[in-house]
Amino acid sequence: MAIIELDQVGVRYGGVQALTDVSFTVEEGSITGLIGPNGAGKTTLIDTLTGMTSYTGSIRYEGEAIDRWAAHKRSRHGLVRSFQSVELFHDLTVRENMQVYADRHGIRNRIRNFRKGAGTDESIEEALDLFGVGWTVDRFPGDLPHGIQRVVSIARALVSRPKVLLLDEPAAGLEAGETRELAEHLRAAVEKLGVTVFLIDHDMDLVLGHCETVHVINFGRWIASGTPQMIREDPAVLQAYLGAPATVPAGSEEGAR
């Protein structure tokens, strides 16, 4: 079943047409990827899903049109994103960072009240354990390596128990081994928590190696959808990536479903 359906979605920023008539679906319980060259409109597309930019066309979520839903309503209903930058609060421990994210309705009050001993949340340890970083819970982010901070920031997005996790370049700055582990952890999140993962990334090993379905946009327009194998061989995709097949590397199919 499709949990997200985009129908002719378009975004214009002044004179820039960032997205034009983009239509595709995201299956519930899948890891779905979105790729496209620089400036293709990938982040803009996530912004349309989270309600952070206005758009034309329509988006359905769990079968319901959400075009009139504000960003906070979308997030409360389980459409949750992570950002390209890590964005952890460095003067709060990892646990406290997770608590901030868990209570998205009163974020300022929550930060103020932290040191007074806000209760722990089972979902915090569960999310950290799922990503193999449970040991960080009482550390400060600044004391952790960058790769670990990034994984913590992704785990943090799970603490509010999203239905759909929207990840903007989760593998940015990760080593190849770390990216592989991240993909395994995302698969565990899908299987254990039933979350749907929609990610954009330039790391082709992550996208083509670990997503069941991949959508491709270029210059704001949809150009292809399919399995990683279909995408690797799609002439329009190869042309978008400078017409050179080598720019869409073979990658590993391990872990792909």
Which span sits near ligand ATP by CB under 6 A: 11-19, 63-71, 97-105, 182-190? 11-19
Residue 43 binds ligand ATP, judged by CB under 6 A: yes
Residue 51 binds ligand ATP, judged by CB under 6 A: no
Query: Bridge-partner residues for 25, per DSSP?
Result: 5
CA dihedral defined by 34, 38, 41, 47, rounded to 10 degrees?
80
Residue 13 binds ligand ATP, judged by CB under 6 A: yes
CA–CA separation, 55 vs 198, rounded Å? 19
CA–CA separation, 92 vs 71, rounded Å? 25
| Total of residues contacting ligand ATP (CB under 6 A) | 11
Residue 42 binds ligand ATP, judged by CB under 6 A: yes
Closest contact distance (angstroms) between CB of 221 and ligand ATP is: 11
Residue 15 binds ligand ATP, judged by CB under 6 A: no
Interacting residue with ligand ATP among 3, 9, 31, 40 (CB under 6 A): 40
Q: Which is nearer to ligand ATP, 44 or 93 (CB)?
A: 44
Residues with Cβ within 8 Å of residue 103, at least 6 apart in sequence:
110
Interacting residue with ligand ATP among 4, 9, 36, 214 (CB under 6 A): 36
Q: Which is nearer to ligand ATP, 39 or 249 (CB)?
A: 39
Closest contact distance (angstroms) between CB of 106 and ligand ATP is: 28
* DSSP structure class, residue 116: G
Q: Interaction with ligand ATP in 75-114: which residues (CB under 6 A)? A: none
Closest contact distance (angstroms) between CB of 185 and ligand ATP is: 23
Q: Which is nearer to ligand ATP, 76 or 202 (CB)?
A: 202
Return the structure tokens found at 253. 């199919």
Residue 33 binds ligand ATP, judged by CB under 6 A: no
Q: Which is nearer to ligand ATP, 40 or 211 (CB)?
A: 40
Q: How far from 10 is each of 48, 58, 190, 213, CA to CA, in Å?
A: 9, 9, 29, 22
Give me the helices (H) in 55-211, please.
Answer: 71-76, 94-102, 107-113, 122-130, 146-158, 176-193, 204-210
Which span sits near ligand ATP by CB under 6 A: 35-43, 86-94, 106-114, 135-143? 35-43
- What single letter denotes the amino acid at residue 171? A
CA–CA separation, 104 vs 160, rounded Å? 8
CA–CA separation, 204 vs 5, rounded Å? 24
Residue 18 binds ligand ATP, judged by CB under 6 A: yes
CA–CA separation, 17 vs 39, rounded Å? 11
Residues that bind ligand ATP (CB under 6 A): 13, 16, 18, 36, 38-44
